[in-house]
Each structure stands twice: as structure tokens, then as C-alpha cells.
Amino acid sequence: QAEVVPKAPEDPLFGLMAAYRKDTFERKVDLGIGAYRDDNAKPWVLPVVKKADDVIRSDPDLNHEYLPIAGLQQFTSASQRLILGTDSSAIKENRITSLQTISGTGAVHLGALFLRKFYKGNSDPNVYFSNPTWANHNQIFTNVHLPIKTYPYFSAETKGLDFEGMISSLESAPEGSIILLHACAHNPTGVDPTQEQWKKIAEVLKARQHFPFFDCAYQGFASGSLNQDAWAVRYFVEQGFELLIAQSYAKNFGLYGERAGCFHFVTSPGSDATDTVTRVASQLAILQRSEISNPPIYGAKIASTVLNDDALFAEWEDNLRTMSGRIIDMRKSLRTKLEELGTPGTWNHITDQIGMFSFTGLTEKQVLKIREDAHVYMTKNGRISMAGINTKNVDYVANAIDKVVRE
Ligand code: PMP
């Protein structure tokens, strides 16, 4: 029977990583995967994570028992406070149910599965993604058979937000569509709506009775402020939306491989809110049980130890500022170097865009050329991970970009 299984293409991002690893060129540069690197291009274990690890390991009662189906309770409730704010009315009114998931991917998947099974916003619901979006959104929603559409997002001309295009597409989408939104630090473009634009987006979603699903993979990583990066999600909750949130701790805690994440269902204010949450929680528990039984314990313990301790939390914020600050510095350096070189085109978008990534505007042809000639690795759409740039390679990268743009 196995002969009927066609060969699938390799995952482009993980394929790129493998090609980089194989490359023996000394000055090679990895601008592919979205993982933080320090100024020596090395992974960075956050000092606060090391401390939390010590706390966990010194517990004489440490064991490796199963977590409950919904995960570690101290972790999921701290996650609610982190994304919604400690004074959130949704928390006070018990309008949320949360499950620990296999990082952000697992949270998006659980949400997709839940929507596929229960969403009845219209007779034939579609999920709308920004064009472009994180490539895995497509696969995750396709796997659960939810039909996909896109709304315009990135303007190739300004290398900023195509706000008009986005709004008119959301206005003309069938009433009750599912709209996937990046909470902050949009991947892959690094372009976020302003607060005024978010307000308009909320207005349109409300008028069209669309259903928001926030994917939040970079809280604290974009601006360096956890509260600022959660602004859009909190605004939508304040507006009384019923919505979903997928939350990842991969980037902001550097817990990539530990797979710590959380999924939240928030319902609207009303007398039946508690009943809604109870029913939804019972169904989510069944989905979770059949998919993963119960989530992994270590990453959640690390995050929970930090999130529930004031001193460690403050230290974490400091660590976050170290990461976001270095990235912002590298944006400035790269832009300055390109402008000094007089590289054709405008480069203000490098500093205008935020978060882990920059959408350079390099074409696929240029991306392949720069990989071949200079051993600088980036995804085919011209996205670079800013974390791959450091004080030692920024000149090299700028010169390589300059050369390929002029060819
Ligand atoms: N959503 C977006 C937009 C992302 O960029 C990422 C990380 N690349 C994720 C979700 C989830 O990543 P993880 O599963 O590693 O938390």
C-alpha cells in the first residue's frame, strides 16, 4: 500500500537550515530560522531560565508524573495574566479557558481543530490569513480541512502595511469568517498595524461579525515591552469579542525545543459566559486528550517559575530588553551600512519593521545568488532573521546585499 504515498517536498525552512549546516565556508551567515542568537551568533540561554532551572532541580519532590490534560495550572493562569493583563475583566469574570499546548504551533493547531469541529459563524466558514503569513498556518488549517483565503497585508511598494487592501478585503469577506491575526511582530514581514489601525480592524470585524484568532509568538520580543506587545489582543478583549489566542514561549523565553505554549478561548461578557466556558473547556479537553493526552512538563515549569515570581519576572523583562535591544541595534547598523554604501533602493523599512524578521524586498533570484556567492542564507521570499546579524558580520551582510542588488 505504501507505494501510493507520494514524496512530499522538504520543509523549506528546515531544508535551508540543513544546507547551512553543511556549508563549510568560514564566513557563512544564517539569516533563516527565527531563533535568537547573541553577538557571537550563538544560541542564548536566558540567565533567568538558568535560575528557574536551578529552582526546579532543587525541589526534593521533583518527579516526572503526567500533567493534567489541560496542563500545569499555575502556568496556564499566569499565561492568561501575561497576555490579557493582570486586571483583565475577562480573567476576573472567568470568561476564559486555557490549555497548555505544544508551543505556539500546538496552540494554533488546537484552535484550528476546535474551529473545524464547532465553528458555525456562517454556513461555509473560511479562515482568512494575511498575505503573506507564517507558512505553517497554511499546513495546519489545511490539515484540519478548513478552507483558506487571504487578505492583502504587505505592500511591495512601500514595504509597509497595505492597510486599505486589508480593510476592504475584511469588509467584503462573508459575514462570520474566521480572521487570523498576528498579535505583534508579524512573521514574515515585521510589519504591524498601528494602534489606530487596530481599532479600525476591530470595528470592521465587529460590524461583519468575524471571529478573531490571534497568533502571539513574539510577546516582549517586538518592542521589548510585554504590555505594549499585547496591546492589540487586550484591545479586542476590551471590545467584548469572543476570540482565540495561541501563545508561544519559544522566542521570548528562548525555550524553542521545550515546546511551551498556551491556548486560550475567551468568551464575551454576559450572563451565560460561565456556562459557555464550561462547555468549551470540556470539548477542548477531548481534543487535547486525543491529540497529545497531556502536554510536556519541563518548559511549562520553567516559564511558570518565572511568571509567578516577581523578582524573576523583572529579571526576565530585563533579558527580553537585551534580546529586543540587540535586534533593534542591528536593524540600525544594517540600514546605516546599506545607506553608506549607496545601495540602490530605500532601506528605511529595515528599521521601520519590528520583531525578529525583516522583509528585505530581495527577489527569489537575488536570494539564491547571495546564498551561492556570499553564503548568506535567507528564505526565498527575502525574509531575514535579524537575530542572525551581529557586530562581526553586519558589514559582510551589507556588502553582500549591496553586490546582489547591483547585479
Ligand atoms: N506563529 C508564528 C507566527 C510564528 O512565527 C511561530 C514561530 N515561528 C509560531 C506560531 C510557533 O512557533 P512554536 O511552535 O515554536 O512556538
pLDDT digits (tens, 9 = 90+) for 140-166: 999 999 999 999 999 999 989 999 999
Residue 167 has pLDDT above 90, yes or no: yes
The contacts of residue 229 (CB under 8 Å, 6+ apart) are: 183, 184, 185, 218, 219, 220, 221, 222, 223
- Nearest residue (CA) to ligand 1, atom 10: 104
Query: In this predicted structure, what is the pLDDT of residue 222?
Result: 86
Q: What share of the chain is helix, strand, coil (3-state, %, to 5)?
A: 50, 15, 40
Quote the cell numbers at residue 281. 473547556
| Predicted confidence band of residue 10 (pLDDT cuts 50, 70, 90) | confident
Quote the cell numbers at residue 26. 568560514
395 included as an active-site residue: no
Alpha carbon of 295 to those of 69, 99, 136, 253, 265: distances in Å? 7, 9, 21, 18, 17
| Predicted confidence band of residue 2 (pLDDT cuts 50, 70, 90) | confident
Q: Supply the DSSP symbol for 272.
A: T
Between strands 29-30 and 160-161, the pairing is unpaired
Q: Specify burial of residue 385 (Cβ count, 10 A radius: 0-12, 13-18, 19+).
A: buried
Query: In this predicted structure, what is the pLDDT of residue 221?
Result: 87
- Nearest residue (CA) to ligand 1, atom 16: 104
Q: What is the pLDDT of residues 193-237, one digit of tens each?
A: 999 999 999 999 999 999 999 999 999 988 889 999 999 999 999
Q: How far is the CA of 180 from the centre of ligand 1 (A)?
A: 13
Residues having CB closer than 6 A to ligand 1 are 34, 103-105, 108, 134, 182, 187, 215, 217, 248, 250, 256, 261
251 included as an active-site residue: yes
Q: How far is the CA of 263 from the centre of ligand 1 (A)?
A: 13
CA dihedral 218, 223, 226, 227 (to 10 degrees): -120
In DSSP notation, 56-125 reads: HHT-TT---PPPPTT--HHHHHHHHHHHH-TT-HHHHTT-EEEEEEEHHHHHHHHHHHHHHHH--SSSS-
Quote the cell numbers at residue 176. 462570520
Q: Which CATH class is domain 73-308?
A: alpha beta
As a whole number of angstroms, the distance between CA 197 and CA 232 comes to 10
Query: In this predicted structure, what is the pLDDT of residue 47?
Result: 98
Q: How far is the CA of 262 from the centre of ligand 1 (A)?
A: 12
The ipTM of this complex is 0.99
Q: Which of 30, 162, 192, 215 is catalytic?
A: 215
Report domain extents, the chain: 10-45+322-406, 73-308
Average of per-residue pLDDT across 9-17: 85
Query: In this predicted structure, what is the pLDDT of residue 33?
Result: 81
| Predicted confidence band of residue 9 (pLDDT cuts 50, 70, 90) | confident
Q: Cβ(179)–Cβ(211) under 8 Å? A: yes
Using alpha carbons, select from 212, 161, 159, 203 the residue that is nearest to residue 183: 212
Q: Which CATH class is domain 10-45+322-406?
A: alpha beta
Ligand 1 atom at minimum distance from 248 CA? 16
134 included as an active-site residue: yes
- Nearest residue (CA) to ligand 1, atom 5: 187
The contacts of residue 35 (CB under 8 Å, 6+ apart) are: 43, 251, 256, 385, 387
Q: Specify burial of residue 275 (Cβ count, 10 A radius: 0-12, 13-18, 19+).
A: exposed
Q: How far is the CA of 11 from the centre of ligand 1 (A)?
A: 15
Query: In this predicted structure, what is the pLDDT of residue 384?
Result: 95
Query: In this predicted structure, what is the pLDDT of residue 12?
Result: 82
The contacts of residue 179 (CB under 8 Å, 6+ apart) are: 127, 128, 151, 170, 173, 205, 210, 211, 212, 213
Query: In this predicted structure, what is the pLDDT of residue 123?
Result: 87
As a whole number of angstroms, the distance between CA 265 and CA 257 comes to 25
Q: Cβ(99)–Cβ(288) under 8 Å? A: yes
| Predicted confidence band of residue 11 (pLDDT cuts 50, 70, 90) | confident
Can you give the pTM of this predicted structure? 0.96
Ligand 1 atom at minimum distance from 104 CA? 16
Q: How far is the CA of 104 from the centre of ligand 1 (A)?
A: 5
